[in-house]
Chain A
């Protein structure tokens, strides 16, 4: 029997796909972001390889003492084990340092690995892989290289992942103070170009001054450095005021792990 072939017109094809797109567009992001997270979760291995390769290329490392093919599998095993041990030591040292800081007394930290960061494009975010997602909630501050890099925007406990909106993300707004301007508090808004803006500042600020995230009850107990002033220019509308451009205090693109600050953890 001849196989019956159904033919769909181009117009119908276009309409169906367009409708699908519109359904995705107007479905709440909490539902559709699960597709995005599932993709990252399924392909985390090739994604992390890609990220590692990129990091290696950027740091221009030379492998002068790379092991030859004649190395036995035991040597490889030992090397991997030593590296794992070293990594655990570094994590322990990091946690020890955080737990033994006076201002962090009673605070818990969740160490998390970074899955490729998108920092240079229009939006700035990180996806982090965290074994301990208990107690992790939206708006928790995230530390990277001893400075605030952003806040948790979504938590996915089923797949042990969370999303971090970086301070440079256009959706990010953080209360800050600027070194040298005592008593004055401002709102720092992300501008998407791996930088953030503080607008309508009353005084001129020197380039390189530190910018601190202000304490936020339940989320941050002490001011912490968030960035440095990279540009200070007059506001176009009100020339008596100044607009500051702030860059993160660390290179977010190079981060491999971060720590989430969990104030008042559940025991």
Chain B
């Protein structure tokens, strides 16, 4: 894993998510797409590190939510996906889209549940926001895997067990 490239990519995507995409009400979650990408195409240890790091980045731009919920939920489901990928290879685009959708829904709900534990209110439109973001992410995500793989110098056909 090229960690410097990883850091630059995460930083750029985080700024993009908070800056350019922030004004659109319905948007894909680019950080979830990255989470699924690294869980699928990296070995398990790298997937664990990258999942928690992406979660930390999501927390940084997740204000006014407190820090921590996204780091935990991204880390947990990223790790689970990496282990799942050792059993079922997620190589085809429809499966990747499904993986993004499911991961996005699960992380979304766990994030708000954890935030609720710390005293944050749960918005009434939580289901719609999470589902719409998940659908957008799953549509856009598989198409972004190729440029991400190019930047990270990862062969997308590579599959480690």
Contact = CB atoms under 8 A, between A and B. Distances in A.
Interface stretch (A75-83, A117-125, A136-144): A117-125
Given A25-B114, A54-B23, A194-B25, A123 B75 contact: no
B90 interface: no
Interface stretch (A162-170, A203-211, A230-238): A162-170
A125 B128 contact: no
B1 to A, nearest CB: 14
A32 B66 contact: yes
Given A10-B44, A50-B15, A122-B112, A24 B64 contact: no
Interface in A1-41: 8, 10, 13-14, 17-18, 20-27, 29, 32-33, 35-37, 39-40
B20 A53 contact: yes
B75 A55 contact: no
A20 to B, nearest CB: 7
Interface string B31-58: 0000000000000110011001001000
Contacts of A165: 64
Interface residues of B, number: 47
Contacts of A253: 23, 25
A interface, how many residues as a size bin? 35 or more
A36 B67 CA distance: 8
A189 B61 CA distance: 24
B22 A51 contact: yes
A163 B64 contact: yes
Contacts of A192: 123-126, 129
A85 interface: no
Contacts of B122: 170
Given A119-B25, A192-B125, A20 B19 contact: no
Contact of B59 (A24, A122, A170): A24
Contacts of B62: 36
Interface in B66-81: 66-69, 71-72, 75-76, 79
A122 B126 contact: yes
Interface string B67-109: 1110110011001000000000000000000000000000000
Given A17-B75, A22-B72, A43 B123 contact: no
Central interface residue in B15, B75, B117, B122, by most chain A CB within 10 Å: B15
Contacts, number: 154
Contacts of B52: 17, 20-21
A56 B125 CA distance: 28
A48 B22 CA distance: 11
Nearest to B125: A193
A201 B19 CA distance: 39
Contacts of A118: 22
Given A26-B118, A36-B61, A51 B123 contact: no
Interface in B130-159: 130
Nearest to A119: B25
A133 interface: no
Contact of A120 (B26, B68, B117): B26
Given A29-B66, A122-B123, A39 B24 contact: no
B16 interface: yes
Contacts of A170: 121-124
A125 to B, nearest CB: 5
Given A120-B25, A163-B64, A253-B23, 4 more contacts: A26-B68, A32-B67, A116-B22, A163-B63
19 contacts: A8-B45, A10-B44, A17-B71, A17-B75, A24-B66, A24-B68, A29-B66, A29-B118, A33-B67, A43-B19, A47-B15, A50-B22, A51-B19, A54-B21, A119-B25, A120-B24, A122-B123, A122-B130, A197-B124
Interface of B: 15-16, 18-26, 44-45, 48-49, 52, 55, 59-69, 71-72, 75-76, 79, 112, 114, 117-118, 120-126, 128-130
List 5 tightest A-B contacts by C-beta distance, closest first: A120-B25, A50-B19, A25-B68, A192-B123, A24-B68
